[in-house]
Amino acid sequence: MSPTDTDAYDVVGLGFGPSNMALAIAIDEHNRRAPQESKLRTLFLDRAAEAGWHKNLLFEDASMQVAFAKDLVTFRNPMSEMTFTNFLLEQGRLADFFNRGSMAPLRIEFVAYLRWVAGKLADYVQYSSEVVRVVPRTAGGRITGYEVDIADAIGVRTVATRHLVLAGGLRPVYPEGVRAGARIWHSAEFLERAQTLDADAVRSVAVIGGGQSAAEVIEQMYSRCPNAQIHPVISRYGLVPSDASPYANRIFDPAAVDELFDTAAPVRQAITEAHRNTNNSVVNPETIAALYDIEYRDNWLGANRLHWHRATRVLSAREDYRQAGVQLTLREDLEGQTRQLEVDVAIFATGYQALDPTTLLGSHAAMLCRDEAGRPTARRDYSANTLLPDDAKLYLVGQTEHQHGISATLLSNVAVRAGEILDSILGANAAGRALAATGQVSA
Pick from 10, 29, 46, 390 the residue near ligand FAD by CB under 6 A: 46
Least separation in angstroms between CB 20 and ligand FAD: 6
Least separation in angstroms between CB 14 and ligand FAD: 5
- Pattern of binders to ligand FAD over 196-235, x per CB under 6 A? -----------------x----------------------
Q: Helix (H) and strand (E) counts for the chain?
A: 13, 16
CA dihedral 201, 204, 209, 211 (to 10 degrees): 60
Task: State which residue, 72 or 233, has the beta carbon closest to ligand FAD.
Answer: 72
Least separation in angstroms between CB 212 and ligand FAD: 7
Pick from 398, 405, 419, 432 the residue near ligand FAD by CB under 6 A: 398
Pick from 83, 386, 399, 412 the residue near ligand FAD by CB under 6 A: 412
Task: State which residue, 345 or 397, has the beta carbon closest to ligand FAD.
Answer: 397
Site for ligand FAD in 47-106 (CB under 6 A): 47-48, 53-54, 57, 64-66
Least separation in angstroms between CB 62 and ligand FAD: 8
- Cα–Cα distance for residue pair 86/69, rounded to 1 Å: 11
Task: State which residue, 251 or 330, has the beta carbon closest to ligand FAD.
Answer: 251
Task: State which residue, 209 or 432, has the beta carbon closest to ligand FAD.
Answer: 209
With a CB cutoff of 8 Å and minimum separation 6, the contacts of 126 are 43, 44, 45, 46, 150, 152
- Cα–Cα distance for residue pair 396/378, rounded to 1 Å: 7
**Bridge partners, 354 (sequence order):** 170
399 binds ligand FAD (CB under 6 A): no
Environment class of 188 (CB within 10 Å of its CB; exposed 0-12, middle 13-18, buried 19+): buried
Angle of the 18-33 helix axis to the 107-120 helix axis, nearest 10: 30
409 binds ligand FAD (CB under 6 A): yes
- The CA R_g of the chain, rounded to the nearest whole Å, is 24
349 binds ligand FAD (CB under 6 A): no
Task: State which residue, 268 or 417, has the beta carbon closest to ligand FAD.
Answer: 417
Count of CB atoms within 10 A of residue 398's CB? 24
- Cα–Cα distance for residue pair 333/316, rounded to 1 Å: 16
Site for ligand FAD in 264-323 (CB under 6 A): none
Task: State which residue, 245 or 337, has the beta carbon closest to ligand FAD.
Answer: 245
Give the strand pairing for 337-343 and 345-348.
unpaired
Task: State which residue, 153 or 264, has the beta carbon closest to ligand FAD.
Answer: 153
Stretch that binds ligand FAD, among 10-18, 255-263, 291-299, 367-375 (CB under 6 A): 10-18
Least separation in angstroms between CB 280 and ligand FAD: 10
Task: State which residue, 191 or 441, has the beta carbon closest to ligand FAD.
Answer: 191
Least separation in angstroms between CB 159 and ligand FAD: 13
The count of chain residues that interact with ligand FAD, using the rule CB under 6 A, is 30
Pick from 19, 83, 204, 399 the residue near ligand FAD by CB under 6 A: 19
Least separation in angstroms between CB 437 and ligand FAD: 36
Pick from 72, 410, 421, 425 the residue near ligand FAD by CB under 6 A: 410
- Cα–Cα distance for residue pair 336/376, rounded to 1 Å: 39
Pick from 7, 28, 81, 130 the residue near ligand FAD by CB under 6 A: 130
- Cα–Cα distance for residue pair 336/19, rounded to 1 Å: 44
Instruction: Order across the sheet with 204-208: list the strands.
Output: 184-186, 345-348, 204-208, 229-233
> Under DSSP, is residue 11 helix (H, G, I), strand (E, B) or coil?
strand
> Under DSSP, is residue 208 helix (H, G, I), strand (E, B) or coil?
strand
Least separation in angstroms between CB 171 and ligand FAD: 8
- Cα–Cα distance for residue pair 204/218, rounded to 1 Å: 12
Q: By 3-state DSSP, what share of the chain in percent is helix, strand and coil, each rounded to 5?
A: 40, 25, 40
Count of CB atoms within 10 A of residue 109's CB? 18
| DSSP 8-state assignment for residue 363 | G
Torsion over CA: 72, 74, 79, 85 (sign): positive
Site for ligand FAD in 160-189 (CB under 6 A): 167-170
Task: State which residue, 230 or 397, has the beta carbon closest to ligand FAD.
Answer: 397
Residue ranges in contact with ligand FAD by CB under 6 A: 14-20, 45-48, 53-54, 57, 64-66, 130-131, 167-170, 213, 397-398, 409-412
